[in-house]
Structure 1
C-alpha cells in the first residue's frame, strides 16, 4: 500500500495568499496540496476540500497547517476527522501538533468530540430556557403569521361570493393559495379555487 500525505490549505478570500500554508505543508512532505479560496462556513461551499477528501485512501494522512483551515466549528472539525478515522486515514495539524496516527493525537480528537457534544448540549439547554421564559411571558415561538385575524375574517367573507377566486384573493393579500387554505380551512368543492 502506497502511503501519501495530502495537504489542504484554505484562505477566506482571493486577496489573502496561501504561501505560509503552502510552505508549511511542503516542508511536512505533502505530495499533493489542495488549495482553496473559500469561506470555511460550510463544507458544501468548499469544492477543493471535497476533492481532497475523495483523493484520500486508507493509510494516507490529511495534513493542514492549522485546525481552523479544515473546519470552522468544532463539531464540523470532529465530524470530518471521525469520517477520516472510519476510512483508515490519519489526520495531522502542524500548528497544534496533532497527529491521529499516535495515541495522544487520537486522545485529543476524542476530547474535541466531547467538547463539541458539550457545546451542542449547552446550546440546546439555552434554547429551551429561552423558549420557556418567552412562554412564561405569554409569547409563542415560531414565525409571525402571514395573515392577521382581521384579514382572515375578510377573506372568509370574500370567499362566500363564488365569483371571488382564491388565487385573486391570495394575490390581493400578498400570500400564496396554500396560506389561504391553511387560514380558512377546506373550501367547498363547487367553488373555483384557481
Structure 2
C-alpha cells in the first residue's frame, strides 16, 4: 500500500512527501490509523487511510484539523466552513488513490469497490461519518454509489491547478 501511494503521490503527482525505500508515509500513518486497499493478484489497485479525529501523535492530530490550525504549509487553513471536528464517531479519510495502472474500463468499478470497503471499514471502527479532502468532482461519484457526501468547505485550488474540496460523508446511507 505504501509503495502504491509512493507511485501515485510522489512519482505520478510529483508531491513532495516523506519517503523511504520506495514507500510514501507521513506523520498520520500511526497505530491509530487503519488502511483499506483494493487489490488483485498481489497488486494494490486503490487505497485509503482512515484516521480517528481523536488521534494524537506529538503536535499532530489529523490532516484536515492540522491544516486548519496552520500546521501544514501545503494545505490552506480555510479549508472548512466550521471548526474541524474531534469526536470518536468521526474519522478522516485521506491519501485516497486509484493506481494509474488500473485500466480506464475498470476504474469506476475499482473506485466503487474502494468506497464500499472504506464505508464498511469505517462503520466497523465505530464511525458514523467521515471527513476528507477529495478532487472537486468526487462528491458526484460518491452520490452515484449511494452515499451521502456533502461539501464541508470551499473549493481549494492548488498552485498546479488541481481543485479539491473537503467533504462530509454520512455513513448511515445505504450502499448500492
Q: Structure 2 length as normaliser, TM-score?
A: 0.29
Query: Comparing both structures, which one devotes a greater share of its residues to strand?
Result: 2
Which protein is richer in helix relative to its size?
1
Larger radius of gyration: 1
**Which of the pair has the greater relative contact order for Cα pairs under 8 Å at 6+ separation?**
2
